[in-house]
Amino acid sequence: LLMGFLVQVGHEPLPPTVGRNVLGRKVLYLPGFFTYARHIVEVDGKRGLFRGLTPRLISSTLSTITRGSVKKAFPLEDMEHVSNKDDVKTSLRKVVRETSHEMMMQCVSRVVSHPLHVISMRCMVQFVGREVKYSGVFSAIGRIFKEEGILGFFVGLVPHILGDVIFLWCCNLVAHFINTYAVDDNFSQASVIRSYTKFVMGIAVSMLTYPFLLVGDLMAVNNCG
């Protein structure tokens, strides 16, 4: 988690190494995961690998609890499973309804958990400048509220929500159209293919929405030192 975030913010304390690509040409490679991890241990000790872990765990817990609460408060009406092309409108309406419900849960959980996400990001980015402003969850809450007010807890929220919404709609709709028009019901492995379509599309769409998450994280740590 920490290594990935340090790369996100452009912190590259180790020089690239010279290697060769598949064509035999000399190229520069950035250090790998274990090299970065060893560098963090040398600077901060093993505890340094777990910077920001506590607020991150709290954020994930809040997100899970919130999603469950919203799901109970606003249950989604069950609809019959539709896969025939004669019922395209019905199946599309089902996907739109499910995606709208999932989007509502995701947006609410994002708003609730984002303050702890901001604290987690700021705890990790302190590795770069060696600051100690955000040493604990409660002290970080007090400092952010004192210096930035309530809005300080929601810096970078909009890009994250946009990324979540675009991800959900693109992933669900594209997977639906592939399953409806590209996968034939007469094919013996149709059900197996359909079960993996959404997973594969999630990986592909995540590359499209990654810039939103990157911008949100950079906004969360900008001028926080």
Q: Which residue has the tokens 């896969």?
A: 83
Residues 14 and 120 in one domain: no
User: Pairing relation of β-strands 26-29 and 17-20?
Assistant: antiparallel
Q: Please tell me the predicted confidence (pLDDT) of residue 218.
A: 93
Residue whose C-alpha is closest to residue 123's, from 113, 131, 111: 131
Residue 87 binned pLDDT confidence (cut-offs 50, 70, 90): low
Residues 130 and 166 in one domain: yes
Q: Which of 26-40, 118-132, 137-151 shows the lowest per-residue confidence on average (mean pLDDT)? A: 26-40
Residues 163 and 57 in one domain: yes
Q: Please tell me the predicted confidence (pLDDT) of residue 65.
A: 97
Pick the last residue of a domain from 10, 26, 50: 50
Distance, CA of 89 to CA of 61 (rounded, Å):
37
Which pair of structure tokens corresponds to residue 119? 């604290």
pLDDT > 80? residue 208: yes
Q: Please tell me the predicted confidence (pLDDT) of residue 183.
A: 74
Distance, CA of 68 to CA of 53 (rounded, Å):
23
Distance, CA of 140 to CA of 54 (rounded, Å):
12
Q: How many domains does the chain have?
A: 2
Residues 121 and 199 in one domain: yes
* Helices 53-73 + 137-148 axis angle, to 10: 80
Identify the CATH number of the domain in which residue 57 sits.
1.50.40.10
Q: Please tell me the predicted confidence (pLDDT) of residue 30.
A: 80
Distance, CA of 160 to CA of 168 (rounded, Å):
12
Residues 215 and 166 in one domain: yes
Q: Please tell me the predicted confidence (pLDDT) of residue 78.
A: 57
Residue 225 binned pLDDT confidence (cut-offs 50, 70, 90): low
Handedness of CA 128, 133, 135, 137 (dihedral sign): negative
Distance, CA of 93 to CA of 173 (rounded, Å):
11
Average pLDDT over residues 127-148: 90
DSSP-assigned beta bridge partners for residue 70: none
Q: pLDDT tens, 189-201? A: 777 787 788 889 9
Residues 189 and 202 in one domain: yes
Residues 79 and 115 in one domain: yes
Q: How many residues does the structure list for the chain?
A: 225
Residues 174 and 70 in one domain: yes
Mean pLDDT of the chain: 87
Average pLDDT over residues 84-96: 72
pLDDT > 70? residue 80: no
Q: Please tell me the predicted confidence (pLDDT) of residue 157.
A: 97
Distance, CA of 78 to CA of 94 (rounded, Å):
9
Residues 66 and 153 in one domain: yes
Residues 126 and 188 in one domain: yes
Q: Which domain holds residue 80?
A: 51-221
Q: pLDDT tens, 12-70? A: 888 888 888 888 888 888 888 888 889 899 998 988 889 999 999 999 999 999 999 99
Residues 8 and 62 in one domain: no
Q: pLDDT tens, 2-16? A: 777 787 877 888 888
Residues 41 and 56 in one domain: no
